[in-house]
Structure 1
């Protein structure tokens, strides 16, 4: 949806012509170059970081718990955004018109809406799981198999929510069959053509509520209850010390990390959601020449959320850093050669040496 808002400018103009198009707004080469470089950097960091996170969790059985399943689901939605939506945005920004065909015109906003829905629903599931674990420690605890079912449900719901983009995203020529007193372009644009403005406003407002506002309210309510419960346990922990103190610190660290991911997601998507709300209900408030610049800044800020998950998860999780190093060493073809060369040549052919190599390898993985 957000990608299409830049082209919705032309769609709104075709219906109402609210702006003065005699005003000259030449694109800036330096600004376009900077924008493309920024999008490329976000795509690279998001793709590599999330791929590493998925690799670590899927290749280490001890890390396959309910929270990490939801974290991986969040990373998969970010990878989908990086693979499908960001390259299209870069091409669209560079060409200034749509050159990718009608199929991608429909698929790109559909995929982007799915990715956003899956991301925010994954954050809700993480908050709910932490709430159940900490606030009701003796109650029901979700199993890993149940978390897979929840993940499948989030993707199904996200696909259903995003279906309108497949119907209403079309290739169109701006001002086609419209008499206007200024030169028009014959280059195609990917726009949303809704049956009425009211239907578009109802749908986009519903997305704002159910994709952003309501999930964040639920998440904040969960973490507020978690914070209050952990604070009430502080006195008991201070009396018990030792093992109780370590468990308390571990819970606080994990919840801080997860809350930071949620806060970063909320901050990243706030400018674009605000821009979309203004565009849908009062687009005349957006200056003509500043429209693309404002949208690009807001959209780039939202896309930066794809980098947040692996950065926060990696920096605040020492176990993840160790597992990542271990996984990368196991994946590198020359790692085995280095371990082999570290053994004295005189003992290479003995059975004892083989056992030593295996034990050393397993020890390095577990440290």
Structure 2
């Protein structure tokens, strides 16, 4: 059988003529496998993965779009902390809009159907989005660490300009680390002369095999292990300060009554818990993918395992909106209001900003003199500000979150 696997087209034709066999008879006689390996889901798994991909796509697209709609409003944009949350949502949208549909389509076909441009774009955007997510979470951890432990240091005062610069660095770094994927991927036509079939394949082709191994290892170290180690140290110190020492480092807060300090501490703890959950879910979803990538490049694991680890990685695009809704009551309320508004608009009863809406009341309070929607916005933005710990004393004097 090993000799047959090294057979040439010319020798195959001679054998078929000599023994008067058809290709099908020859393949059946020796139980031969295709000479060209084409990743494709087994038929029994296709319905399961189809449901998984459609569910992930729908929830990720709807959830992250809702996050952006709720945060990218005039009042929300005054809070510079929302820039980082928007960056996470954008990276998840890249996965859900580009990577998930093309990968889903490819699992059900033996040929690459998306063309040469998407062959380069899909893996490039996948690496970019995953790298952006983990670097953004690292920036959040660093800002939270500085805001809680060293809130009065001048260099740690947060601003929109600083956030923009940090995110520009995050996205540029992610694009740079993903650029080899653009050059390494290309569409090739592979001919399986044994089965007499031509395959159109999107392949990751490097000039030398060791270059692919080096790149995959660099991705694992620089875009996963190092950021995760950094976040582990930072959040470890934060948890030690808030839960073990119960310290309030900000002098402005130390003059407040004990009940107010406890309230601030609870908000900080809740915000830390939320981000720790986000980070842990990212690790659970993407660690298997990184490990399988390295092991398969070094020939220690079958490529077929990619089916499972890739869909697990894509499922992380769903996690962040679900975490926000589960752990943030104000986000949950605004999300429900947004959904109600969309349902009402589709029924032809959509009003302007001063109109009456079912589920989103803009009726002015007779006693308090302010719209109830504005009060909800204030509460929601307070939660968003506590989602990330920044000490913006210029715009928010005497208040950290």
- Same structural fold, with TM-score higher than 0.5 when normalized by the shorter chain: yes
Q: Residues 322-343 of structure 1: CA distance to partner in whole angstroms, max 9, x if unpaired?
A: 333455566654354996599x
Q: Which residue of 2 aligns with 1:16?
A: none
Contact 2:191 2:199 in 1 (8 A): no
Q: Residues 112-132 of structure 1: CA distance to partner in whole angstroms, max 9, x if unpaired?
A: 111111111111111111011
Q: Residues 290-330 of structure 1: CA distance to partner in whole angstroms, max 9, x if unpaired?
A: x43x2111000000000011110121112222333455566
Corresponding position: 1:93 with 2:107: yes
Cα distance 1:64–1:324, how it changes in 2: closer, same or farther (>3 A)?
Answer: farther
Q: Which residue of 2 aligns with 1:22?
A: 32
Alignment of 1:1-367 (within 5 A): 22-23=32-33, 28-59=42-73, 61-62=75-76, 64-139=78-153, 140-174=156-190, 182-183=194-195, 185-234=197-246, 241-283=258-300, 285-286=301-302, 291-292=303-304, 294-327=305-338, 333=345, 334=349, 336=351, 340=356, 362-367=371-376
SS of equivalent residue, structure 1 residue 190: strand
The gaps in structure 2 that reach 5 residues or longer are 1-29, 249-253, 377-401
User: How much is the aligned-residue C-alpha RMSD, in angstroms?
Assistant: 3.0
Cα distance 1:28–1:197, how it changes in 2: closer, same or farther (>3 A)?
Answer: closer
Deviation at 1:97, TM superposition (A): 1.7
- The number of residue pairs the alignment matches comes to 325
TM-score by structure 1 length? 0.80
Contact 1:42 1:303 in 2 (8 A): yes
TM-score by structure 2 length? 0.74
Contact 1:323 1:365 in 2 (8 A): no
Deviation at 1:32, TM superposition (A): 1.1
SS of equivalent residue, structure 1 residue 30: coil
Structure with greater Cα Rg:
2
Q: Residues 71-109 of structure 1: CA distance to partner in whole angstroms, max 9, x if unpaired?
A: 110110110111111110011111122011111111111
More helix by share: 1
Cα distance 1:141–1:88, how it changes in 2: closer, same or farther (>3 A)?
Answer: same
Deviation at 1:138, TM superposition (A): 1.6
Cα distance 1:206–1:235, how it changes in 2: closer, same or farther (>3 A)?
Answer: closer
Q: Which residue of 1 aligns with 2:18?
A: none
SS of equivalent residue, structure 1 residue 174: strand
Greater RCO (Cα-Cα under 8 Å, separation 6 or more): 1
How many angstroms apart in 1 are the aligned matches of 2:162 and 2:340?
Answer: 32
SS of equivalent residue, structure 1 residue 29: coil
Q: Residues 204-246 of structure 1: CA distance to partner in whole angstroms, max 9, x if unpaired?
A: 1101111111110011111001011113443789x96411111
Contact 1:127 1:222 in 2 (8 A): yes
Contact 1:36 1:94 in 2 (8 A): no
How many angstroms apart in 2 are the aligned matches of 1:341 and 1:194?
Answer: 58
Contact 2:324 2:332 in 1 (8 A): no
Cα distance 1:232–1:188, how it changes in 2: closer, same or farther (>3 A)?
Answer: same
Moved more, 23-32 or 208-217: 23-32
Deviation at 1:185, TM superposition (A): 3.3
